[in-house]
Each structure stands twice: as C-alpha cells, then as structure tokens.
Amino acid sequence: MFEPPEEKQEVIEAYDRRASGYDLAVKWFDVSARFGFNISGWRRQAVGQLNLKPGDTIVDIGCGTGLNFPMIYEAVGSQGTIIGVDLSEAMLAEARQMALANGWENVQLVCADATQFEFPPQVDAVISAFTLILVPGAERVIARAVESLVPGGRLVILDMAWPRWCPLWWRHVLFFLRSYGVTAEVLRRRSWEAVQQVLHERLSDLFERQYWFGFFYLAAGTVPEREIV
C-alpha cells in the first residue's frame, strides 16, 4: 500500500515531539488501570506471550522509547539480542539512553520504516506494541516477520483497534489519539483486520484477547514447522 510521504512525516514529527515526555505520559495511564485501561498489565501479558528464553534474539517493531525492553532483557539476559526498530530518532534516543543507563550492551537500535526493515534471519521472537495501526501495509510487515522467525518462534502484537460498533466520531472524545498519529484516515484503514488475518493464516497456537471494550487487542502465535524455507 502506498503511504503518502506527508503521513509518514507527520508520524515522525509527532513522536519526535513526544519522545521526552512519552514514558511519563504512558505512566499516567496506570492511574486508569483500575478501570480496566491497564496498559502496563497488557504489556506484561504481551511480553509473557513471547515465551522468551535466555540467549534469544528478538525484534521489537516500533520499539519507541523501549518500554518493552526491561521485561525482554529480564528474559533473554545478556546473551540474548534485542533489536529495536523505529521511525523516530528521538524515540530511539530515549531507548538508547535506557540501554546505556542499564548497561545493556545487547540492544541494537535501527532507525527505519517497519515496511522497509530487513529482518535478520533466524529470529526467535517478534513483538510490536501500539505501532502497527500507524503503519500502512502492516500486514506485509507481519508476513515478513513470520518469514524471519525460526520454527516455533513467537510473534506477538499488542495494538489499538476501533470496534465496529463504535462510530468514528467518538475519536473526538478520545482527543489525545490524534497527537499520537491515530487520525481518522488511520482508523478508516482498519489495518488491524488485515494483520489479524495474516496471523490466522500463518501461525498456529493462537492466543487472542481483547481489552477495554475492544479498543485494544493482544494477538500471539507460533510459526509452525511448515514455515521452514
């Protein structure tokens, strides 16, 4: 799918602007966890679904400031490899800072569009959190991620969606979405449907869960033996 360059530029600018306050903004949402809007809890479940072991190599698509990294590092240890990919240099600078501050030498950060990123071969796991909704052609990113995974490798997606029962004008109520790149065009694209279809077609052992009235979902699966090329 063709992505208008101005749309990509808007995403880069939005996240470059938000990078330094991003972690704090996400932390604020923890206040709403008791009302079911539990981003940290969903993230924990998503990383848990990766079934990581010490020494694993994992790619985090749209890693942002690296909020998945602490849990991933805990699982893969210093022998593992964490590859974070993001469009925004400023978000990656925050992630780099986190890795430096913790002395993690096995974190590689790549500034790239997910649709153009060359996945390394033989990856053990791929995760993407709150990103693919922003990526036109996200289903092709997922298809390439599946090809890069070892048999038995896990793919986990945690993302936003827009339930069919909800009129699009409700996005004005959730006014903060726009400043994170979630525009009407993005919602009309309904890219999560194509992404979930790829998961159903290519993966086994599927785990699917919806959160917060269907505005968020977690989907995970395993690359079956037949995916060996």
Ligand X SMILES: C[S@@+](CC[C@H](N)C(=O)[O-])C[C@H]1O[C@@H](n2cnc3c(N)ncnc32)[C@H](O)[C@@H]1O
211 makes contact with ligand X (CB under 6 A): no
Specify whether the CB–CB gap between 66 and 91 falls below 8 A.
no
- CB nearer to ligand X: pick between 15 and 216: 15
Give me the residue whose beta carbon is nearest to ligand X. Answer: 64
38 makes contact with ligand X (CB under 6 A): no
Enumerate residues 15-34 that contact ligand X by CB under 6 A.
15
Q: Edge-to-edge strands of the sheet including 57-61?
A: 107-111, 81-86, 57-61, 123-129, 149-160, 216-222, 204-211
Q: Whole-number minimum distance, CB 213 to ligand X, in Å?
A: 19
Enumerate residues 56-115 that contact ligand X by CB under 6 A.
62-64, 67, 85-88, 91, 113-115
Specify whether the CB–CB gap between 91 and 111 falls below 8 A.
no
Residue type, 75: A
Q: Whole-number minimum distance, CB 178 to ligand X, in Å?
A: 13
130 makes contact with ligand X (CB under 6 A): yes
Instruction: State the Cα angle at 164 between 159 and 167, rounded to 5°.
Output: 105
Q: How large is the angle between the packed helices 89-102 and 5-28, nearest 10 degrees?
A: 40
Q: Which residues bind ligand X (CB under 6 A)?
A: 11, 15, 62-64, 67, 85-88, 91, 113-115, 129-131, 134-135, 180
